[in-house]
Structure 1
């Protein structure tokens, strides 16, 4: 994809996700010729076209219909300092700006993959936007090769990547961490992972999955792939998934099922990326999501379950990283759809797969501390509906915590709900 097209796709995604404003932020790519492609100054981010993207040639010549972003100096400074960086994102997403105002660098060890993606984070002191001084201060931080992300004091964040998707995933993941930390602090304390726990995550990636060669794609299987991709895209659009995390699976025939792949951005998954699991083996040439063993065991032990979604919405994760009870007895609809939602310790989904899988015989949803939430259903759309209800409810609980103590529904009211809605 041409650099201008890449920039258009990512700025659209950032704007639609509420992580920049009409006039805020800028994105650039340095191509193999050393030319910089960058968003223009003073053009609406919500209606930007490929033709609006500016080209600043290596010799300084400017090509395009507008002026390049006023922040071009610090983009140049970063590229000069770090030859391996070819893409830069600067924006003002609310949670990251909150950290920049407070002068605090976020600790991303709230979930394991976030720390791996974001790495260590720098902090650049304040300087006037668009100035050479700001470029120098940011470049000074990027001299430390540990950093691919730098918080800008009272300003926002700037992130680099080996390509545009690498930069975007780091940006999206870092904002997710900041939102989760802020919401978790409303509920109580934030429980961070140790370095050892973070490293365990890497060790649990599926590397020894057996594969089969004789693959069939009948019409019912292809229909499931299409439905899964539609749900994944919907989850991304609604902030229920981010590029770097989110697993969806659906039972196909017997205990055979389809599941999302590893190492493909969730925004960009297409039907052909989905992995077929047959007799416990994955279709050749593809790597399934890291929780594939648990999905398989859930299907084997729970015939009533036909779909599973595992993801990290910020409000549910605020409960997962704070250890606060996700009490669905506060909203009748939430309890009817989800019943009680237990929490389990970090790592249990890999260390005791059978015990976790058996939990879904009685529980529709399970929260995994510092990891994710698992939601199950008899159909994929129902499963997605339960996920929406869970995250909406978690959001209400986070907001309510700022107002006063929660007032859960009592046992007698729960019994009434069981009778009225035939909940077993």
Structure 2
């Protein structure tokens, strides 16, 4: 979406978001529905029984405030509960309903995922409601869902059905949807290899409190060709990370060294799917580009660049299989296949809180390893070229995924010490 979502027609907003949901495997061809209520009280909604993988703006239906239907299809069969939510909560302007696998897993065992699994999800998702089962498309389902929204919830687990979320606009709703599914996935994957640990409310409050303070603004900024080129690289990698599920809308930082210890970095409070070239923030001589707020992790990136001259790009993100290790504290042994060990060698693990600025943790910023996991927070990947760093991230996530999936088959048998030494001689000497 463009920088100002309000300038995009509801039809285009809906088709873009439903496309993201479908391509990320969070709904099926026939499943899920998205709606927006506009300032006139008209509701724009996905159609019934139309392929979600090829939906066009012209397929979106408008249900006028007086009930008149405009469009070439029928509105979604779940339209009644969308309407009921808008009537119950005037502050809700967009609704997403889908059947993403991890949240359906919680739905069918009748549990609510604990969003304290990662540091920022509690703030994004808020408390989670629970709606008892009713027949899809029925007025009764609309009533039980609306009743949960009346309690102040913006995210609901639907018993034996899926999830429904609301937001102040479609971007807000999607960020909540994506973050909640990420939490559910991380809990599920972590449970396969160990026991997930959760942050206390106090720990999350400490995270929020320490992440304040903004670098002073620079008076003027220049944008030579090489700087603009790096902005483009960052935008492309962020988009690719989102498309591949290696980053979510609400979390993920990418930076590139530009000139000596000056660098470019993604902004804070910006949906990662929507990042544009002019959103990227230039950091020069410890000052930020005027009018922009860099990632709250900018100080970590700055210190890594200051202390590690060979590091020229950094990705700090949350990917579900790596975070399965991050929330359990289980050791991630990358001696799965030769490529994993050659690229990564080892993945360090640091306790939650050690990444707070006041601690200036040397495990993170001094002699920074290629990959490092921060407990219940994130993964940091470093490298030279940004594409190389992204490759390291992919390899690390694939390695973690192989271990998680293989766990049900038996214990992992790693490449042995002799084989590792052979790899060291051939590829690293």
Q: TM-score band, normalised by the shorter chain?
A: over 0.9
C-alpha offsets along residues 163-191 of structure 1, whole Å, 9 cap, x if unaligned? 00000000011001111100000011010
1:180-219 aligned within 5 A: 180-219=186-225
Q: Secondary structure at the match of 1:404?
A: coil
- Counterpart of 2:333 in structure 1 is 327
- Counterpart of 2:408 in structure 1 is 402
Aligned length: 421
- Counterpart of 2:82 in structure 1 is 75
C-alpha offsets along residues 148-176 of structure 1, whole Å, 9 cap, x if unaligned? 00110000000000100000000011001
- The answer to which of 272-281 and 204-213 deviates more is 204-213
Residue 347 of structure 1 and its aligned partner are, at CA, apart by: 1.5
Instruction: Note if 1:122 corresponds to 2:129.
Output: yes
Q: Secondary structure at the match of 1:151?
A: strand
Distance 2:214 2:242 in 1: 29
Structure 2 vs 1, CA of residues 98 and 414 (structure 1 numbering), >3 Å: closer, same or farther?
Answer: same
* Aligned residue among 231, 248, 255 for 2:237: 231
Distance 2:56 2:365 in 1: 51
1:218-297 aligned within 5 A: 218-297=224-303
- Counterpart of 2:426 in structure 1 is 420
Q: Secondary structure at the match of 2:273?
A: helix
C-alpha offsets along residues 64-115 of structure 1, whole Å, 9 cap, x if unaligned? 1111111111111111111100100000000011110010011000111111
Show structure 1 runs of 5+ residues with no match.
none
1:54-65 aligned within 5 A: 54-65=61-72
Q: Secondary structure at the match of 2:335?
A: helix
Instruction: Note if 1:111 corresponds to 2:124.
Output: no
Q: Secondary structure at the match of 1:197?
A: helix
Residue 411 of structure 1 and its aligned partner are, at CA, apart by: 2.3
Residue 356 of structure 1 and its aligned partner are, at CA, apart by: 3.2
C-alpha offsets along residues 289-331 of structure 1, whole Å, 9 cap, x if unaligned? 1111111010011101100000001000000001111111232
Report if the CA contact (8 A) 2:214-2:293 is conserved: no
Instruction: Note if 1:317 corresponds to 2:323.
Output: yes
Per the normalisation by structure 1, the TM-score is 0.98
Per the normalisation by structure 2, the TM-score is 0.96
Report if the CA contact (8 A) 2:308-2:366 is conserved: no
Show structure 2 runs of 5+ residues with no match.
1-7
- Counterpart of 2:138 in structure 1 is 131
Q: Secondary structure at the match of 1:310?
A: strand
Q: Secondary structure at the match of 2:232?
A: helix
* Aligned residue among 371, 379, 384 for 1:365: 371
Instruction: Note if 1:300 corresponds to 2:306.
Output: yes
Residue 378 of structure 1 and its aligned partner are, at CA, apart by: 1.1
Report if the CA contact (8 A) 1:345-1:369 is conserved: yes
Report if the CA contact (8 A) 2:86-2:93 is conserved: yes
Q: Secondary structure at the match of 1:116?
A: helix
Distance 1:343 1:359 in 2: 14
- Counterpart of 2:11 in structure 1 is 4
Structure 2 vs 1, CA of residues 354 and 3 (structure 1 numbering), >3 Å: closer, same or farther?
Answer: same
